[in-house]
Every structure is written in structure tokens, then in C-alpha cells.
Structure 1
Amino acid sequence: MNITTFAKRLLLPALLILAPASQAAEQAIPAPPELAAKAYVLMDAASGNVLVANNGDERLPPASLTKLMTAYIATLEIRKGQIGENDLAPVSEHAWRTGGAASGGSTMFLPLNSQVKVDDLLHGIIIQSGNDASIVIGEHIAGSEDAFADMMNETAEKLGMKNSHFMNATGLPHAEHYSTAHDMARLARAIIYEDPAHYAIYSQKEFLWNNIKQPNRNLLLWRDKTVDGLKTGHTDEAGYCLVASAVRDNMRLIAVVFGTSSEQARAAETQKLLTYGFRFFETRTFYQKGAELAQAPVWKGVDRQVKAGLAEDLTMSMAKGQLKNLTASMALNPQLVAPIKQGDVIGKVEVKLGDQVVKSADLIALQPVDEGGLFRRLWDSIRLFFYSLFN
């Protein structure tokens, strides 16, 4: 990456060679496919960049896509040590009547008043889309499904799912239960990267429990070997929905469709999005989190400099052929005064395509710098006074 320079700014390490300006408009790509769906989003998983969107932030009933949040919270609680995979959770009458065999919906066929291992419930939620399993895990974690719904909404807020609101653990219809294609892509990204071990469940094609074998309803697991998740959903109100993810050539995409007309249609429309994304886009990580990119001068500190880097990977997704046209520059605060805490924002990175900023990220201190002694502080106060006068 070649470098743009400007006053009081330091240069980033070169990673790409700047192409001639005449190439900036090359590699024009065709318009994305128009899908037979109410809403859809295609996201690059590594960067979080949305590559294609149509009604991506429209609030719609998510049906059983809701169970992505239910399963996410369950795995989060496992990682926190709040519950264990071998814990036994009781099947309440509410879970049995609302989501069991007699309900007519997706079910794991849990017997009333039985006890089921959390790990089995997790598989039943993800693979079999069991409404009963979803309610049981919610009750086991929070005491009641209503309390679990509160946890779902708190978690959605933390993940930046600004247009989602949950009233139950299953996705059964409710006027105040909604989400968006964009929010579901955000949730899928968290599921994929935060807990790869549990994410592996989403690629399993079937699950046998209590001598009942049920297939995963995600048809793309059979049709496309690069697809490894995530979840289907369907109600009369929501239509047929799907969140899917695939990896090709070290690039992972997340496709979300809401409101298609059939099980076959949701698979076919989602496949169109994935095919388009892999054909016409590419992704690259330019700078990794925690890597030292520069050293910034520090006033009044024990140390004269502090290492600067990024809190998160700086990853870009763009039309194929455009990544080589990017330029990057870094601005550091010239008047950093100790004490400085690790993680304090001390500057900014900007990535541009021509004159347009396409990505920015905060530079942070990679280590703390304590306040210096009295003499150092007095001397730097004098130096800083004159520095301010002439800069």
C-alpha cells in the first residue's frame, strides 16, 4: 500500500503498490442480482462490509432465525461458565405445550418433565430448529422465557443490532418481535468468530436424539460444499428465511434473505448472493490488531515514546482489482501527555480510494506509559509551551 503524506502525520508501512490513477475506475462490476425476497444482505465476514443490500434495515418477522440469538446466548453462557454442556435442563409444561410435538411447529420432541443435556438442546436448536429446545434452554439460563427475552434484547444492543427486538426464544409470531437482514448478518458474524468450536454444529446435516433423526433444513449444506451454516426460518407471516455462510479462497461471506416463497426459493436466492459476492469481490487484511505500526512521542512520561497499533484487524472488502488502488495514512496526536493507559486512542488511520475515505480506524496505545518524575514533567512543560507556540 503506497502512502499519502501530510503535515504532522506519520507514514504507515507500505503493503500495496499504488496503481496508476487511470486504473481507479477499472474492474467495473455488474449490478447485483435482484432476488425474489422481501429483504436481503450480503456481508463480508472478516471486515463486516455490506457488499449487497436491499431493504437490509427493514424490520421484519425473523421466524426461526431468532434461534441464532438463542443459541448464541447459550454458547456465551457456556464460555462464561454460567452453565455446562452436561447440565440437565427440565422440560416445563410451557416448553412442551408451546414447542413440543403437539404444537405443530418445529420440535425436538422433548417429553414433558424430562431432563435434557444442554449440549443436546443446543444441537436440537441449531439443527432441528426445535421450539421446545429453545424454550427449555431459555428457561434454564434465565428462569423464564420472558426473562430470557430480556437477555436477548440486551445482547442485541451490545452487538449493534439496532433494529431488532425479541419477545421469545423461538421466533413464533408476535407484533413486537422483529429483526432485519443486516442485524442477522451482524449476529451471524459474532457466532462465527467468537466461538468456532460451537459454530461447527451449524454445518451438521442431521441430528439423532431419542431415536428420532431430523435433517438440517439448510439445503445449501447439501448443494454447496463451501457452505458451513447457519440457520433457516419459516412462518406464514415471515415467509421462508435463511442465513448462510460460505468460505472460498480464504474469503468468508454471510448471506441473509428474508421472505422468500418456498424452501427451494430461499436456497436458490441465497446461492445467487453468494455466487455474486465470490465472483466479483475480494477481501484482504492489511494490518492486524496488536501489531506495532508506529511509535508516538510522549510528553512528561517515564518513556519518551509509546507504541501505536490497532484494536481490531484492518480488513477491507472491495470489487476485485480495486484493493491495489488504496492509499493509507496515519495521524498521531503530537501532544500526548503521560500518564497513558493501554488502549487509549492516540491517533487514527485513514484508507482512501482516490479522495474518498473508505475506511478509518482508531490507533491505540499498545502499552501504558506512567507519569515521569518531577524534573521530567517540569522540563517537558517548558518544551511543550514552546512547541505549542511554533506548531
Structure 2
Amino acid sequence: MKQIGSKTVTMFPLFLRLAVAAQLVGALLSPPPAVAQSIETAARQAIIVDFASGAVLMEKNADELMVPSSMSKLMTVYMVFDKLKTGAWKPNDRLPVSETVWRKHVKSGGSLMFLPVNSTATVEDLLKGVVIQSGNDACSVLAEAYSGSEEAFGEEATRRSRELGLTRSIFKNASGWPEPDHMMTARDLSVLSRRLIADFPEYYPLFSQTDFVFNGIKQGNRNPLLYSTPGADGLKTGHTAAAGYGLAASLKRGNRRIIMVLNGLSSMKERAEEARRLAEWAFREWETYPLFKAGDIVVPDAEVWLGEAETVQLAARGNLEVTMTRKARAEMKVTTVHTGPIPAPIKAGDEIGKVVVTAPGMAPMEMALVATGDVQKLGFVARISTALSRIIWGQPKR
């Protein structure tokens, strides 16, 4: 069970209130402790994130710019999914395969959907070609239809990525084909993966499809976890000589989902084995614990200063879930922090304080506490009386 402590900064006397508040602010603004790193990986870059809470379970060079290879196709998929969701495109819309696209890819040696020159293909088939077959030609067709040229699409993808919370990624094309400055980070890929699943639950099941036939050619999904690991349901592999073998993967077991990004592995075999090993570790050693739901009363009687009510209830602003190792769970501490007494007037929804959750090896998590109702300020005479009572007796007199 969670234990809730309480830490209230008293308003009176003033010099004590300021001193305590300064100590609290310093503690809360100090850099959070690093995530406990209890497992190593052969990957050059890696990150594992809990989908619901966003907690980082492990990371290695997660903010290092890297060649993302075909994992950057996830950005192209996101942008096309968005077109479908807004109704700008329909799944059965047919897009042209230009000679420019065909010549760029036909002898490139990269992965292809094998689109015939001067033909057309539906948006739905092109998406399958990207997600399942990793077709670079399918990406280019989508990019030309989206922005007029692949270069323009790369610029748009970079701009859009910032809106999604990707902080360092730069896109030069739609497929991840090697090109100077086409770079991402493992952390950015984890953010993009979470957004794909959260923003497009109606389209995400496409990622779990294991094969697709187009132009008489059957190709299988290259995600090795789909065939061997319980709970694996998608995202994307990548490989180039510069990047090594990489994988952005999602796995869901019960109510838990994790996002894993690996890059820089030496072979398809090592990629598959390392991904399975790290996934099993993440589900075995870590758990997500729901603490509060939006609206839950956390502080039932926060004292009010010079208000028509003596107390006000403080509730959780949103849902709060924390992810930690099962071992750390026994030492978890949940503390409420607010400045008190709380001066009236107070409006329902006003942010009054916060909940702070700490545990060994976990960065502190915070959530706002809000007032559940209005409290009007006392009239002039009553305020004078109450203030004098506080000064003389140390408590309000009504």
C-alpha cells in the first residue's frame, strides 16, 4: 500500500515560511537522480520506456545522434496516418509512381515494394509496403504526393517532428536511405513510437501484420519479435552499414506496454536476441503502479487563511502512475507539498500544491493538486478578527 506523508509550508511567521519554501524549491528543482541501470546491452544506442508513465527503464547514449536507417520510416507513417485521420486522404486513394521515384530506387539495392514505373497504388497498399516490406519506393511515392518532392517532405517532416516532441531529429528523405545529416536519436524514436500508438490506435494494428503480397511478390515483416516474443505487436526495423542493425519495438502484456529502441547491433541474430533479452528483463524487473486517478481527494482538509470555509479539499489534477523496479516499490514514498494556510479567495481548479513520489533509483515524479471547490474571502471585520486571533493565539477564531 502507498503511504502518504504531508509537508505543509506555514504562512506565519513570514521569515520561516520563506526559508522553508526556499529549501523545498531547491530540492524540487535539483537534477533528478539517474535511472538505475541494472542491465547492459551490446547496442550502441538504446532506450526502454514505459508507455503509460513515460518512465525510462534503461538507456544508453539515448540522446546521441545516430543513423536511424529504416526506423525513420515511422515519421513518414505518422504523417500519412494523420492525413487519413483528418480525411485529407482516403485509404483507397491512388497515388502515382513517377519515373523519378522508380529510377531512384530500382537499382539502389535497398528494400523495395517493387512498384512499376508510371503505375499507381492505393494509400493503404503503400502503407503496407512501408510498414511490412520496408519499401523505400513506397516512401518516396507518399512523400511526392504529400509535399511535391522528397526534399520538401524531409523539411516538413523535420518541422512536424518538433511539434511531436522530437528534439534533435533531422529528416532529409522519407525512407531513411543514407544521406548526410539524416539523423535521429533513440529517445526521439521512442517518443515517435509512443505518439504513433497513442494518436492512431485505429491504424496501429497494421504494424502487427506479418506479410504482404504486392505485384505478385510476397514479403514478410522484418520485425523478429512478432514471430518469437509474447506481446510484440509492431513498429520497425532498420539496417545500414553505418548504423548497424536497429529496432524500434512495442510489446504489451496485460495492461503494460513498453517501447524499446536499439541500434548499432552487429547482425540480425544479435538484434533479435538482444531485443528479446531486454524485453523479458523489462517485464520481469519493472512494474507500473497506479497511485491516483484524476479527481481523487489527496488532502481532505487543507487549512484556509481568511476564508469563509476553514479548509478545502485538494484533489489530483490527473492520473498518476509510477513505474519502478519491484524491489524499489517497498521503499516508495508519496508526499504532499503545499503552502499553508492557503489564502482565500480560492477557485475550484486552482493549483495549490503537488504530490511528490520518490523511490530508490527513480527520478522524482510530481503531479499538481487542485482545489475541489470555491472558498470566498471573509468580510473586512471577520478578516481583522481572524488575523489578530492568529497573531495572538496562533490559530484562527471564528
TM-score in same-fold range (> 0.5): yes
- The equivalent residue for 1:20 is none
Q: Which amino acid aligns with 1:323?
A: R
Q: Secondary structure at the match of 2:264?
A: strand
Q: Which amino acid aligns with 1:316?
A: V
Q: 1:323 aligns with which of 313, 322, 329?
A: 329
Q: Which amino acid aligns with 2:174?
A: A
Alpha-carbon displacement from aligned partner over 1:241-291 (angstroms, at most 9, x marks no partner): 111121234322222111111112211111121121122111122223465
Q: 1:232 aligns with which of 224, 234, 237?
A: 237
- The equivalent residue for 2:15 is none
- The equivalent residue for 1:17 is none
Residue 94 (structure 2) pairs with residue 94 (structure 1):
no
State how 1:297-376 maps to structure 2 within 5 Å.
308-311=315-318, 313-332=319-338, 334-335=342-343, 345-353=351-359, 358-363=364-369
Q: Which amino acid aligns with 1:282?
A: E
Q: Which amino acid aligns with 1:258?
A: N
Q: 1:255 aligns with which of 248, 260, 283?
A: 260
- The equivalent residue for 1:179 is 184
Residue 169 (structure 2) pairs with residue 168 (structure 1):
no
Q: 1:211 aligns with which of 207, 211, 216?
A: 216
Distance change >3 Å, CA 356–CA 103, structure 1 → 2: closer
Taking the aligned partners of 1:336 and 1:96, their CA distance within structure 2 comes to 70
Q: Which amino acid aligns with 2:200?
A: D
State how 1:1-391 maps to structure 2 within 5 Å.
1-7=2-8, 31-35=38-42, 37-99=43-105, 101-289=106-294, 293=298, 308-311=315-318, 313-332=319-338, 334-335=342-343, 345-353=351-359, 358-363=364-369, 379=379, 383=383
Alpha-carbon displacement from aligned partner over 1:68-123 (angstroms, at most 9, x marks no partner): 11111211222222322222222223322223x33321111122222222111111
Query: Larger deviation: 347-356 or 192-201?
Result: 347-356
Distance change >3 Å, CA 34–CA 379, structure 1 → 2: same
Task: Say what the alpha-carbon RMSD is for the aligned residues.
Answer: 3.5
Q: Which amino acid aligns with 1:309?
A: A
TM-score, normalised via structure 1 length: 0.80
Q: Secondary structure at the match of 1:283?
A: strand
Percent pairwise identity = 37
Following TM superposition, by how much is the alpha carbon of 1:171 offset from its aligned partner in structure 2, in angstroms? Answer: 0.5
Q: Secondary structure at the match of 2:89?
A: coil
Taking the aligned partners of 2:295 and 2:279, their CA distance within structure 1 comes to 31
**Gap regions ≥5 residues in structure 1:** 10-28
Distance change >3 Å, CA 327–CA 115, structure 1 → 2: same
Q: Which amino acid aligns with 1:107?
A: L
Alpha-carbon displacement from aligned partner over 1:32-76 (angstroms, at most 9, x marks no partner): 0332x2211122222111111111111110000000111112112
- The equivalent residue for 1:14 is none
Following TM superposition, by how much is the alpha carbon of 1:31 offset from its aligned partner in structure 2, in angstroms? Answer: 3.0
Distance change >3 Å, CA 377–CA 285, structure 1 → 2: closer
Alpha-carbon displacement from aligned partner over 1:117-174 (angstroms, at most 9, x marks no partner): 2111111111111111112222222333223222322232223322221111110112
Q: Which amino acid aligns with 1:4?
A: G
Following TM superposition, by how much is the alpha carbon of 1:329 offset from its aligned partner in structure 2, in angstroms? Answer: 2.7
Q: Which amino acid aligns with 1:166?
A: F
Taking the aligned partners of 2:387 and 2:149, their CA distance within structure 1 comes to 62
Q: Secondary structure at the match of 1:133?
A: helix
Taking the aligned partners of 1:119 and 1:384, their CA distance within structure 2 comes to 72
Taking the aligned partners of 2:152 and 2:345, their CA distance within structure 1 comes to 46
Distance change >3 Å, CA 382–CA 164, structure 1 → 2: farther
CA contact (8 A) 1:309 1:366 kept: no
Taking the aligned partners of 2:45 and 2:326, their CA distance within structure 1 comes to 25
Taking the aligned partners of 2:238 and 2:113, their CA distance within structure 1 comes to 15
Q: Which amino acid aligns with 1:141?
A: Y
CA contact (8 A) 2:169 2:183 kept: yes
CA contact (8 A) 1:298 1:335 kept: yes
Query: Larger deviation: 349-358 or 146-155?
Result: 349-358
Q: Which amino acid aligns with 1:129?
A: S
Q: Secondary structure at the match of 2:53?
A: coil
CA contact (8 A) 1:165 1:177 kept: yes
Following TM superposition, by how much is the alpha carbon of 1:308 offset from its aligned partner in structure 2, in angstroms? Answer: 4.0
Q: Secondary structure at the match of 1:279?
A: helix
TM-score, normalised via structure 2 length: 0.79
Alpha-carbon displacement from aligned partner over 1:305-361 (angstroms, at most 9, x marks no partner): 7974334x3221111132243222334563475777x6x644322112379862112
